[in-house]
Amino acid sequence: MSADPARILGTNGSNGTNGSHGKLSAVELPTRHRSQPTGLDAAPDGPLLEAAARGLLLGVGEDPTRDGLLNTPSRVRKSMEALTAGYRQDPRDIVGDALFDVDYDELVLVRDIEFYSLCEHHLLPFFGKAHVGYISRGRVVGLSKLPRLIDVFARRLQVQERLTKQVAECVQDLLDPTGVGVVIEASHLCMMMRGVEKQQSVTRTSTLLGSIRDDRDMRAEFLALTHSRA
Ligand code: ZN
C-alpha cells in the first residue's frame, strides 16, 4: 500500500495546542477510539526520535559517527513518523463522503487486505491480512476506504487483538450496520526473529459484533468466507 499523505499534524513544529488544527480538532471521535494515546493533537517529536535512534546505536556498541550510520537517526525518525501516522489521522476524514445509501442488507466482505503494523512490546513489525465484513443496514462505504481505515489503526503501536477490535468498532460507528466481523491473520517478527523463533506461526484474531456475532448462520457464513482459500 502506498504511503498515504493523509493529514500529518505538527510537522511545522507546532505543538498541537487546542484549536490550532481547525477541522480535525472539531471532529468528535467516540471515546473508545481514544483508549490509547491518540496523538490526534500530538505532533511527532523529531529531535527526541533522532536522539533515541542515536541512543540505540550507541547502546548496541555502534559508532553513530561512522559513514553508514551518519544519517541513520534522521532516517529512523522519518520512518517512525510514517509508521505511526495513524495517531494523527481521523477515520472520519479518511472515509470523507464515500458513504452511500444503498438498498442492500446482505454481507459485504473485503478479504485479504494487506497491512503492516508495529508491535508495541518490541517495536518490531507484525503484518498480514485483514478481512472486514459487515451486514449493511442500507449504508455502505466505498470499498477502497476499508484498507485505508485499517491503516489508520495499523500505523500506531499496537497489539493484534486491539487492532482487530478497533477496526470493528470503527466500522460499527461509521456505518451503523447490523453486524460487523473483522478477522486478522498476522506474522509477528518478534516471534519469528527472536524469542520462540516460530517462523511459520500465524496469529488469528477476530472481533464479531451484532448480527454477525449473534446470528448462528451469519456467523458461520462470515467465518467460512474468511477461511476459504479460494
Ligand atoms: Zn512483540
CA of 119 to the centre of ligand 1 (A): 5
For 146-196, how does the pLDDT look when each residue is reduced to its tens digit (9 = 90+)?
A: 999 999 999 999 999 999 999 999 999 999 999 999 999 999 999 998 877
CA of 141 to the centre of ligand 1 (A): 32
Residue 16 pLDDT: 36
For 66-93, how does the pLDDT look when each residue is reduced to its tens digit (9 = 90+)?
A: 999 999 999 999 999 999 999 999 999 9
For 28-56, how does the pLDDT look when each residue is reduced to its tens digit (9 = 90+)?
A: 333 434 444 555 557 899 999 999 999 99
pLDDT of 224 over the 50 cut: yes
Q: Which residue has the higher pLDDT, 27 or 175?
A: 175
Residue 43 pLDDT: 84
Residues with a known catalytic role:
119-122, 160, 188, 190
pLDDT of 15 over the 60 cut: no
CA distance 12 to 106: 46
CA distance 131 to 199: 22
Residue 104 pLDDT: 87
CA of 186 to the centre of ligand 1 (A): 12
CA of 118 to the centre of ligand 1 (A): 8
CA of 82 to the centre of ligand 1 (A): 19
CA of 113 to the centre of ligand 1 (A): 21
pLDDT of 24 over the 50 cut: no
pLDDT of 197 over the 80 cut: no
CA of 154 to the centre of ligand 1 (A): 14
Domain locations along the chain: 97-227
Residue ranges with CB less than 5 Å from ion ligand 1 = 119, 121-122, 190
pLDDT of 20 over the 70 cut: no
Q: Which fold has domain 97-227?
A: GTP Cyclohydrolase I, domain 2 (3.30.1130)
CA of 192 to the centre of ligand 1 (A): 10
CA of 188 to the centre of ligand 1 (A): 7
3-state secondary structure the chain: CCCCCCCCCCCCCCCCCCCCCCHHHHCCCCHHHHCCCCCCCCCCCHHHHHHHHHHHHHHCCCCCCCHHHCCHHHHHHHHHHHHCHHHHCCHHHHHCCCEEECCCCCEEEEEEEEEEEEECCCCCEEEEEEEEEEECCCEEECCCHHHHHHHHHHCCEECHHHHHHHHHHHHHHHHCCCEEEEEEEEEEHHHHCCCCCCCCCCEEEEEEEHHHHHCHHHHHHHHHHHHCCC
Share the mean pLDDT of the chain: 84
pLDDT of 4 over the 80 cut: no
pTM for the full predicted model? 0.80
Rounded to 10°, the helix 160-175/145-154 angle is 140
For 200-222, how does the pLDDT look when each residue is reduced to its tens digit (9 = 90+)?
A: 889 999 999 999 999 999 999 99
